[in-house]
Amino acid sequence: MTETHTTADIHQEKVFEAHIVSYLTSEQGYLERNCASHYDVAHALDTELLFRFLKTTQPEAWQVLEEHYSAQAEAEVLKRLDKALKEHPTHVVLREGIKLVPNIRFALCFFKPASNLNPDLTRLYEANILSVMRQVTYSAKNKNALDLVTFVNGIPVTTLEVKNLLTGQNVKHAEKQYRKDRSPAGEPLLTFKRGAIVHFALDQDNVSMTTRLMNGKTRFLPFNRGRNGGAGNPDVPGENRVAYLYKDLPDGKAVFSREVLLDLIGRFIHLERGDGKEVLIFPRFQQLDAVRKVLADAKAQGPGQNYLIQHSAGSGKSNTIAWTAHQIINLHDGNDQPLFDTAIIVTDRLVLDRQLQNTIGGFAQTEGVVKKIDGTSRDLKDAIIKGARIIITTIQKFGTEHLATISGQAGKNFAVIIDEAHSSQSGKAAQAMTDALTRDDTSPEDIEDLVLAFQKARGPQKNISFLAFTATPRNVTLERFGRIGSDGKPHPFHLYSMRQAIEEGFILDVLQNYMTYKAYYQLEKTIEDDPAFKGRKAQARVARYASLHPTAIDQKVEVIVEHFRRHVARELEGKAKAMIVTQSREHALRYWQRLNDYIASKGYTDLKALVAFSGDLTVDGNEWTEATANGFAETELPKKFDTDAYQVLVVAEKYQTGFDQPKLVAMYVDKKLAGLQAVQTLARLNRTYPGKDRTFVLDFQNTMEDIKEAFAPFFEATALEERTDLNQVYDLEQRISNSTYINKDEVERFAGQFFKGDLTEQDRLVLEGTVRLAVERFLLDEDETQKEEFRQLLKSFQRFYAFVAQVVNLNDAWLEKLYAYSSWLSRLLPSRDVPADITVSDDMLNLAAFKLQKGEEGSASLTAGDTKTLQPISEFGANSYTEEEERSLSEIIDAFNDRHGTKFSREDFLRFERVTRDVMDDDMTEMMRNNPADVVYNAFSQAFFQQMVKMFQQDNEMRNIVMTDKDAREQATRHFFKRAQRQAREAGRS
């Protein structure tokens, strides 16, 4: 339909209305209807179209109706329909239809069939009548009119309030109009569940929607596509930015197209009930878009594909997973054959996420479709063998003996949906899952073919599609599940960024109010030359002693409590809560104890704390558990903390991830955080809650720059600097194969026995005997540095090979043999000697002074473009140098050579990298992450000096300089300390 407009009205809303209607009628097959002639106010229906649809599509049923009810036939249909709409939501009535005596059933909508095997179903789907009305005077009480209403077979499904930006009005004015002038009381069209399913507010640039009008309490959600990584919509050449509502675009069908609208009604919209509340779920745009694009790609490409869905917290991930699972099992290929036999939803949480279970179960339209594996792995095995359509389970259940006996699944196709895809998806349990879903009843007899079959099972599988959901993909996750783009690098298949979620108000920006404190320690040894203070372990204990000292904790506790009372306690009408993040279980308990003491001393009766840590703990000779500290079972803590009785939760590791408490307003951090751990920990604060519009972070360990750097890779689309060089696996293999400890004939002999399977106890003894030949050669070697390098080399190879084998089909039997052999060898090699533990007491050490000083304060928030690429996977060798590190190294070399008349080169100094690798064991790395630089440097310096002397035993020139030139030694140590700090941070981030 085309309208002409005068210059006076060219900027009015009706021009935009007419534009929308023009596309709906010309491109989407809608009929334009006239309100005055066709709208039944009392029933909120277009009755003429309703009866036209019923008579045209179901003539036999209509004939029986007329024979039974004669002149009252239409009135009876309206009466039954009106009753159905009052008792059931509109989308349910459209799905299920109505029945009248005598056994007359009318379908009110025909949905697109999963396959084309029955042409009649396709014909009926095409017979649905879509229509639109402008200026719908919907009320018998007043002359209020809605700008647009769309109908399916005469039944209203959407209403729209349209604003024109050229008049100075926008989407917010449309929302206000719904709240102020669209009271649902006594109005069938606007009544929750009874009337239109969803209400849209829009202007030319933005769209929002709601499924429930509640006057001033109505909450609208953005329904936008996202713009350049943030909120809003992208430009559409020659069109409005919201054209995706009414016009098919190159990247997708219009929301109001027949295909999408009926898909929404038939398979997406869902009434959620819980806690005495009802919520009508209509997908947000990114949910609808992600599901439809995954299904379209799967239909076009078939099984065996990877999909990385990078959806931020606040994206509604559980619903997106549920919609995907329920719809992918009904997907058919071009030959009308089902694409997937089963969808398996896996999580690495040991206890299945109840919300996820309930959401997926609640979306089921057919009973028995969803099988939740809350029991044993035997239940999982039965569900797979019996062909359950949707299975929800933990990844750990696949790594059991029961699942190892499954075979014959290679002929089935599986869609594996991974909730929170992280590094655990490359572990043994993930491999066991792939094995269970691909294992055949037969196996090759030739040993080489058998080994290659094992290796092939690690790689991409033609019968498994992986759909990996995460807000924070690591480099491993991107390379494992990402799609290769035009730049040759892996990218997420679908994105809803952290930035967009923040800008749209679905999560809070946790970096908006950030404050740092710096601690200054002065320690004095009681016995100056006490040998107990020599060595790395002792230095780690010294740092720990300082951080656990009552004086240090008391000052921090005072800052925390007073800040909470002054800035946080009154938030959320007095219901605000806080979390204290500590570096160890003992820290958590002592914090909690000192916190209680301080609260009691001040008489703060309105403040009470809980503590969370795992296992048993002995402190000051007393046995503690979380339950004995709090006075109730561990499982009760989330529920107890949610009550008004408790305001503060002190944690150590526990509850730093996966804990959803929307009333958390403040976090007090006394732990080094890096990369993903920083993002996941601080994300505990980002949940929205009525009245919660800001958060607070006080950080005693990290700088604002540290935290911004941690968040940057995940703020918009996560990207890799470059793809990992998979050929590194051969560099590792060569270094291991050429080692003096390895005999290739022994590896082959081991593999010949190992890969036959069904190993007896005698077989295992023989295999162990073969591997121990290498262990004996290892024990005879007196070069401890070389031995430790070999230990690390084995670990690097095992991690890197497991990754590479998942990404590509290697077709290299030797690598698989070496992997199996090295796994056994790694377990049988003796552990590195660890010095005896040292307890530092007040008799040995005094905290002479402790000062807590406020540092930075303000916003650490990221803005558009504040992104950082992840580095590719590098499992071995020295980390690459930054420009600053290169400059520092050059200065050190020049200083050495000038002072001593030597000609040391860069390569000479890179031997220090080997010293650094030896020093940076797990203890030192952990100490660096969790302590200030001035506390940990002394420990690093001593260990570095000892290893330097050892390294240069055969190099008199370098050894003499190291031993006698204190300044040169200090300069080198400082340089490699900074390098080690960076590597420790990056290791925590990856």
pLDDT band for 379, please (50, 70, 90 cuts). Answer: confident
Mean pLDDT of 951-959: 71
Mean pLDDT of 692-718: 94
Residue 551: both structure tokens together: 């004086």
pLDDT band for 871, please (50, 70, 90 cuts). Answer: confident
Mean pLDDT of 188-196: 96
Q: What is the rounded CA–CA span in Å between residue 634 and residue 244? A: 49
| 799-823 per-position pLDDT tens digit | 899 889 988 999 999 999 999 999 9
Burial (Cβ within 10 Å: 0-12, 13-18, ≥19) of residue 135: middle
Q: What is the rounded CA–CA span in Å between residue 130 and residue 148? A: 13
Burial (Cβ within 10 Å: 0-12, 13-18, ≥19) of residue 694: middle
Higher pLDDT, 617 or 983: 617
Burial (Cβ within 10 Å: 0-12, 13-18, ≥19) of residue 526: exposed
pLDDT band for 835, please (50, 70, 90 cuts). Answer: very low
CB–CB of 184/223 below 8 Å? no
Mean pLDDT of 111-126: 89
CB–CB of 713/679 below 8 Å? no
Give, in order, the Cα–Cα distances in Å from 649 to each of 211, 589, 640, 664: 36, 11, 11, 10
Give the angle 684-990-544 at the CA atoms, nearest 5°.
Answer: 70
- Rounded to the nearest integer, the mean pLDDT of the chain is 87
- Please list, in sequence order, all residues whose beta carbon lies within 8 angstroms of the beta carbon of residue 433, skipping any fewer than 6 positions away: 344, 346, 395, 398, 403, 416
- Most confident region among 524-528, 688-692, 887-891 by mean pLDDT: 688-692
Residue 787 predicted with pLDDT over 60: yes
Phi, psi of 609 (to 5 degrees): -120, 150
**How far is Cα of residue 136 from the mean position of the Cα atoms in its chain?**
44
Higher pLDDT, 910 or 244: 244
Residue 350: per-residue pLDDT: 53
3-state SS string for 942-969: HHHHHHHHHHCCCCHHHHHHHHHCHHHH
Residue 696: per-residue pLDDT: 97
Mean pLDDT of 193-209: 97
Helices (H), 616-674: 626-630, 637-641
Q: Which residue has the tokens 């060219």?
A: 10
pTM: 0.83
Q: State the Cα torsion 935-936-937-939 to the nearest 10°.
A: 120
* Residue 973 neighbours by CB distance under 10 Å: 21
